[in-house]
A and B are shown apart, each in its own frame.
Chain A
Amino acid sequence: ETGVTQSPTHLIKTRGQQVTLRCSSQSGHNTVSWYQQALGQGPQFIFQYYREEENGRGNFPPRFSGLQFPNYSSELNVNALELDDSALYLCASSLSVNEQFFGPGTRLTVL
């Protein structure tokens, strides 16, 4: 166990809906990164938050947005869901950018 927790475990939504995924970072970690892992693929970087500010973003559209709170927990919000958004969403926390600790993920299914 890494100490990184995510909720919910599974989620089913329909196209066009909005979803919020949550992540609690490991104690003492001030950086949270979000990744999307489609079936049969490796994780792809969505964005990272460091001390409540976005600190880098991958090749994802603006309908993917996030927040980090003063306790360093984080949310990933996805608006106007599309079928291709179905994936495992992983949160990783770290103290430095060079070593990230992953949570168990949230499995999102978009119908």
Chain B
Amino acid sequence: AQSVSQHNHHVILSEAASLELGCNYSYGGTVNLFWYVQYPGQHLQLLLKYFSGDPLVKGIKGFEAEFIKSKFSFNLRKPSVQWSDTAEYFCAVNEPGANNLFFGTGTRLTVIP
């Protein structure tokens, strides 16, 4: 079975700091990779996704993620965070065509103005 690890449980940053959230998965085959965000009181929203091609993926709101197959990683980055980025971030993975997403436990990001 697949599993997803997010080692940072809670990250606190000041505005304008750079962000990198780690995500590692345990599956040796082809995977689709996702980052979802959950703002306080809101539903899960897709930030970005990787299916194939360029391993550097651009998402909404200035976020990007890099797929490194040799490290089974899909880390999320943003060069300069804003207070409005305060939220919970979830990494997820599935096999192409599979019917379920495997989620990590999430990383809570708090951005201090």
Contacts and interface: CB of A to CB of B under 8 A. Distances in A.
Interface of A: 2, 4, 31, 33, 35, 40-45, 48, 50, 55-56, 58, 90, 92, 97-105
Interface stretch (B13-21, B55-63, B71-79, B99-107): B99-107
Given A97-B94, A98-B51, A103 B43 contact: yes
A58 B106 CA distance: 19
Contacts of A90: 43-44
B112 interface: no
Contact of B103 (A44, A55, A98, A103): A44
A4 B45 CA distance: 12
B109 interface: no
A95 B36 CA distance: 18
Interface residues of B, number: 25
B100 A42 contact: no
A101 B44 CA distance: 8
A58 B6 CA distance: 21
B105 A100 contact: no
B97 A99 contact: no
Given A98-B32, A98-B51, A45 B100 contact: yes
Interface in B7-39: 32, 36
Interface centre among A42, A56, A90, A98 (most CB of B within 10 A): A42
B50 to A, nearest CB: 11
B43 A105 contact: yes
